[in-house]
Chains A and B, each alone.
Chain A
């Protein structure tokens, strides 16, 4: 448990989390591995965890009938993945597939949600950690909607 605590503390996402909050978070954590090509989670399934990647790359994809999986983002080492656990209905919105062999921490959502309800300070601290990541990814996605590298720059997707 202490080893896990030390590893999680050094992960960039939690680097500045207060020691007592870190203790609470570590209590819900497990250290895991996944092979290349295996699914981390699937669209519609219960979002029972969030993940901190230690090493490896995950493809976030949506399956499009007749076209196959459309990878709209990849998540790399040292990044955080998953915020559907934070709000009802606690279900994943897309598929996540390990592109390379993956080593990661998984944090039990029910465990953490319980602790956040009991300790709002912990809840606030975790929200403060997740929000910048969500905003950053949302903003990047908005820019990508412009399809700047398309035939007519900035005209958006679907423009000939």
Chain B
């Protein structure tokens, strides 16, 4: 039927951003830094995502993993799992990528800054948590002075798959910060922990009423992490997860990202555990 171009404007129309740099992080993960032509500031909340378009190939939902205080560039750490993400990995600095966003709900940073924060990341799940960590890092001195702690737990498949290794070490040195890392398997040369990330979580950092947790990773991991946090005494409403579903429009009008009655692109991706818990228990929902 309708052949002629229809009306299309942001947020459905992508904007051309220039690739400033590309870095390979692990065997299948890479980081792109994008800048906007015209240089106007881009504001996003930690936890939000963009729809990135590999020209001529396709579009995919990618969490923003950069510093929310930086309005001039956008950082995306991406795992190459399909044609679109592989096409992005082949982009050369100086070329353009399409971008729509930011979309979705972010981590509850306003509450987080006045509480002990526990962050639990699994695999590529550290990428959407990184903006939250950076925001907490920027407030580290003030938070430490108020007696508030930040505990980051990271799990990865092997030591070679750990993301942001240099930054993890730097964050560990910040006042009030602790960083614990574990892998699923390692050889004899690894000095760190081997085991499930919940094995690192022995106790809450302080008063549960003044603690907030954020977790991102494979759904099974988030389920066991949430269970562990509740066992340790944290109230369910203080736990936040980042959900993932098939994304097409990212504005809640195509129906693809539905998770029960939730639109992951609008009601999520960051969701409080009480809202997600009944859905997590249901197969194929």
Contacts and interface: CB of A to CB of B under 8 A. Distances in A.
Contact of B188 (A69, A72, A154): A69
B66 interface: no
A contact patch SS: mixed
A70 interface: yes
Nearest to A148: B218
Interface string A112-150: 000000000000000000000000010111011011111
A73 interface: yes
B194 A74 contact: yes
B194 A149 contact: no
B199 A148 contact: no
A54 interface: no
A113 B41 CA distance: 70
A137 B155 CA distance: 16
Contact of B193 (A76, A146, A151): A76
Interface in B18-54: 28
B191 interface: yes
Contact of A149 (B161, B190, B224): B161
A100 interface: yes
B193 A74 contact: yes
Contact of B192 (A68, A74, A78, A140): A74
A149 B198 contact: no
Interface string A61-78: 100000011111110101
A57 interface: yes
A147 B184 contact: yes
Q: Which of B161, B190, B199 has the most CB of A within 10 A?
A: B199
Contact of B220 (A68, A100, A154): A154
Contacts of A140: 195-196, 198-199, 224
Nearest to B188: A69
A43 to B, nearest CB: 15
B123 A71 contact: no
Given A140-B198, A149-B155, A69 B221 contact: no
Contacts of B192: 74
B195 A143 contact: no
B156 interface: yes
23 contacts: A57-B191, A59-B194, A61-B188, A68-B187, A69-B188, A70-B187, A71-B186, A73-B195, A74-B182, A78-B202, A97-B188, A137-B199, A140-B198, A143-B220, A144-B195, A144-B196, A147-B184, A148-B122, A149-B122, A149-B157, A149-B184, A150-B157, A154-B218
Interface of A: 57, 59-61, 68-74, 76, 78, 97, 99-100, 137, 139-141, 143-144, 146-151, 153-154
Given A74-B193, A76-B193, A140-B224, 11 more contacts: A71-B185, A71-B188, A71-B194, A74-B195, A99-B191, A140-B198, A143-B224, A146-B220, A147-B157, A149-B122, A149-B218
